[in-house]
Structure 1
Amino acid sequence: MKPQLTRLCIYPKDIQIITGKSERYSRDLIQKIKKHFNKEEHQLVTFQEFCEYMGIPLTEVQAVIRG
């Protein structure tokens, strides 16, 4: 059986699924997370960073996104 590959970075659509909020909210949240972690514009936000910022366990987020 092939191991399942997972993404490292989170996108606005993922945040919409997790939070139930709009695309605009999701894009704004990514910008806030980038500012919080001192990331440059071209750098991506990881699921780990999202979970740390929002205070949500990574395992719960993974369950929602995979399932």
Structure 2
Amino acid sequence: MKRVCVYPKDVSTLTGKSIRNAQKILQDLRFLLKKEKNQFITIAEFATYSGIEVAIIEKVCER
């Protein structure tokens, strides 16, 4: 089964940013999407926000 959520490590790998900056990116995205702290960000939501193709994100999330 494929993973559907994005974690800071994935964002860090995709963007080349530090883990702390990746956490901040996901925090900002949660705020924009009006999600709670404990809710996950999906691959599709992150792809829309970042402009990175879903296929590329899925490839990074497989590792």
Superposition TM-score tier, normalisation by shorter sequence = 0.7 to 0.9
Q: State the TM-score, normalizing by the size of structure 1.
A: 0.83
Unaligned runs of 5+ in 1: none
Q: Which residue of 1 aligns with 2:9?
A: 13
CA distance in 2, matches of 1:9, 1:61: 10
- After TM superposition, the score normalised by the length of structure 2 is 0.88
Structure 2: gaps spanning 5 or more residues: none
Residues of 2 paired with 1:27 and 1:33: CA distance?
10
Alpha-carbon distance change, 65 to 42 in structure 1, aligned in 2, over 3 angstroms: closer
- Which residue of 1 is the match for residue 43 of structure 2? 47
Aligned residues: 63
Let me know the Cα RMSD of the aligned residues. Answer: 1.3
Q: SS where residue 26 of structure 2 aligns? A: helix
Larger radius of gyration: 1
Q: CA deviation at 1:46?
A: 0.8
